[in-house]
Amino acid sequence: MDRSVESLMNIKSVCFEHTLDVVWASGEVSHYSFMWLRDNARDERSFDARTHQREVFTASLDSNIKPLFVERRNAGALLSIQWELDCSPIEYTSTFLYRYRQPVKTQTIRGTSTLWDRDVEPPVVDYPSLSDSTQTDQFLTSMIEFGFVLVRGCPTDLSSVNALAEQLGYVRETIFGGVWSFEADEAMADSAYTPRELRPHTDGSYSLDAPGVQILLCLEQSASGGESILVDGFAIAEKVRREHPEIYKYLCRIEVEGMYQGDGVTLLARRPILRLNASGELEQVTFNNYDRNVMRLADDQMQQLYDGIRLIDGLFNDPQYQWRHQLQAGEAIVLDNWRLLHGRSAYVGSRKLAGAYVNREDFISRLGLND
């Protein structure tokens, strides 16, 4: 760490009358509750550094706990606190305290994203280059910024899908298997297995935990038509929020039920089309009109839902917001299924794809946002 940055993390002074008040070398001031400090202590009695698990029994702590004394040590790099009922002081590093110097919002990758429409310049990565850590970092950066990456030069077999999944986590097992291949097959209980137009949608609206990332690799392409379509759901949501705030509220509030029924399986899940996190920021877009189940809400709620669907799905299907690309054999699209909608134009002829899903939590972990 740069010494100038590290010096800003040093503690200049402290007082502990009602809370622990820390003045940092930069002049910034932080306030910590005594309960929070004791609960998050990192000494060996309170925290197992090997497993990264809390050992302290939080429910047993006195809600009025107070320190007997606080000592600034090592030129402000350490803080030693003697708590009531503890036999010895507990040390807190200034870097730990500095990390939590202000209340932290719910973690999100939204802040670093670039919203886009049909004119987006697609981020492109060559498959062979992914063995280079620099290119892997660029791959992940593009996933954060744009929500998708176009990968070229992939071997046209299932091993490529596995390799791409390993860049983001690991392959998720679903009712379709782990890594799967598909082509037009009317016997399958899913609209993706037809050659008809497939309007923009997200996958897994019927899953309690929808897949975080989807990988689609073109194995064979000799069809006429069949353009892949991507839509930035976050960009559309922002447009609705700005221009139609009342409908935006409906879309954030009314839960929509998705259903998958086939192959002896019935799956059901409910969530709003636009799901916000605890900080009120957009966390997930979920919309699949094909898999939307029958719902009977109060008449006013049904009208609000239909108003929302009419507006937002109309925008999803507006060509000015759709990036289109004819996938060729050896090309893959890797997309954020919590942000983007994907679809396909109708086609005639032969077209074979392979794909897989990756869990959202594994994707977030690989991005390093949980560190």
Q: Tell me, what's the pLDDT at 131?
A: 86
Sign of CA dihedral 100, 105, 106, 112: negative
Task: Report percent pLDDT > 90 for the chain.
Answer: 82
Mean pLDDT over residues 308-313, rounded?
Answer: 97
Q: Is the pLDDT of residue 369 over 80?
A: no
Q: Is the pLDDT of residue 219 over 80?
A: yes
> Rounded distance, CA 254 to CA 124, Å?
37
Confidence bin at 8 (pLDDT 50/70/90): confident
Confidence bin at 109 (pLDDT 50/70/90): low
Q: Which tens digit of pLDDT belongs to each residue from 131-153?
A: 888 888 889 999 999 999 999 99
Q: Is the pLDDT of residue 243 over 50?
A: yes
| Helix axis angle, 299-316 to 233-243, nearest 10° | 120
Non-local CB neighbours of 126 within 8 Å, separated by 6+ positions: 135, 151, 152, 153
Higher pLDDT, 111 or 368: 368
Confidence bin at 370 (pLDDT 50/70/90): very low
Task: Report percent pLDDT > 70 for the chain.
Answer: 93
Mean pLDDT over residues 279-296, rounded?
Answer: 95
CB 117 within 8 A of CB 235: yes
Amino acid at 213: V
Three-state secondary-structure class, residue 334: strand
Q: Is the pLDDT of residue 344 over 60?
A: yes
CB 255 within 8 A of CB 240: no
CB 184 within 8 A of CB 196: no
- Least confident among 70-84, 190-204, 317-331, 344-358: 190-204
Q: Tell me, what's the pLDDT at 112?
A: 77
Q: Which tens digit of pLDDT belongs to each residue from 54-73?
A: 999 999 999 999 999 999 99
Q: What is the mean pLDDT of the chain?
A: 91
Confidence bin at 192 (pLDDT 50/70/90): low
Q: Tell me, what's the pLDDT at 4?
A: 52
Domains along the chain? 3-99 (3.30.2020.30), 110-367 (3.60.130.10)
> Rounded distance, CA 291 to CA 206, Å?
7
Q: Tell me whether residue 174 is exposed, middle or buried, using C-beta atoms within 10 angstroms of its C-beta: 0 to 12, 13 to 18, 19 or more.
A: middle
Confidence bin at 255 (pLDDT 50/70/90): very high
Q: Tell me, what's the pLDDT at 367?
A: 82
Confidence bin at 371 (pLDDT 50/70/90): very low
Mean pLDDT over residues 186-208, rounded?
Answer: 80
Mean pLDDT over residues 41-48, rounded?
Answer: 95
